[in-house]
Amino acid sequence: MRRIAIGLLASLVGGSAIAANDHAIVTPPPHCMKIEEFKKAFDHKTRFEILSPGPFHVAEGIYIGSPTTPPGLPPGDGAILVTHRGDKGGLLIWTRGDQGCAPIAISQAVIATLAGIRTAAGEKVAPYDDGAELHL
């Protein structure tokens, strides 16, 4: 019981220090490269699926809510889900034009959630006009 209390205390103290310093964190620009270059890094058992608007918006929410991602929206106006036959998890690559940016590992549970989302009739994602905002 004592170990649990010490661990809990350490996590609370650590969490407070992180929260107090959030404004001081400087986020480097995302690493981007041509999507074709990403594809060359994988074998024929790899599937690349462009997310439709519904799953893309849910992925944005997951990104925004994650404590391990930088603040703000993801660095793209679209996303590609990368899965490999035999693996449980995958990658999510944010896309902007022909560039893939800031890939993040995602779990099997997130992949299943994204697969179950249907895009509403008429919903679409327009590409960035000025690189600053997403238009529906």
Q: Is residue 40 part of a domain?
A: yes
pLDDT band at 111 (very low <50, low <70, confident <90, very high): very high
Q: Is residue 53's pLDDT more than 50?
A: yes
Q: Residue 12: what pLDDT?
A: 30
* Phi, psi dihedral angles at 10 (to 5 degrees): -60, -40
Asked, for residue 106, whether it belongs to a domain, the answer is yes
**pLDDT value at 7 more than 70:** no
**Would the pTM of this model clear 0.75, i.e. be above it?**
no
Residue 26's pLDDT is 53
The mean predicted confidence, pLDDT, of the chain is 75
- Helix 53-65 to helix 108-115 angle, to the nearest 10 degrees? 140
| 38 located within any domain | yes
126 is a domain residue: no
Model confidence band, residue 71 (pLDDT cutoffs 50, 70, 90): confident
Sheet holding 46-50, edge to edge: 32-34, 99-106, 90-96, 78-84, 46-50
Range of the domain at 59: 28-115
Residue 108 φ/ψ region, left for φ over 0, alpha for ψ in the -120 to 50 degree band, beta for the rest: alpha
- Please name the helix (run of DSSP H) or strand (run of DSSP E) that holds residue 92, with its range, or none: strand 90-96
Is 48 domain-assigned? yes
- Residue 8 banded pLDDT, cuts 50, 70, 90: very low
What secondary structure does DSSP assign to 11-71, as a single string? HHHHHHHHHHHGGG--PPPPPEEEHHHHHHTS-TTEEEEEPPHHHHHHHHHHHHH-TTS-S
Using one digit for the tens of pLDDT, what is the confidence trace for 12-48? 333 333 333 444 445 566 689 999 998 999 999 999 9
Per cent of the chain over pLDDT 90 is 50
Closest C-alpha to 102, from 128, 126, 72: 72
Q: How far apart are CA 43 and CA 57, in angstroms?
A: 28
What domain count does the chain have? 1
CB 90 within 8 A of CB 114: no
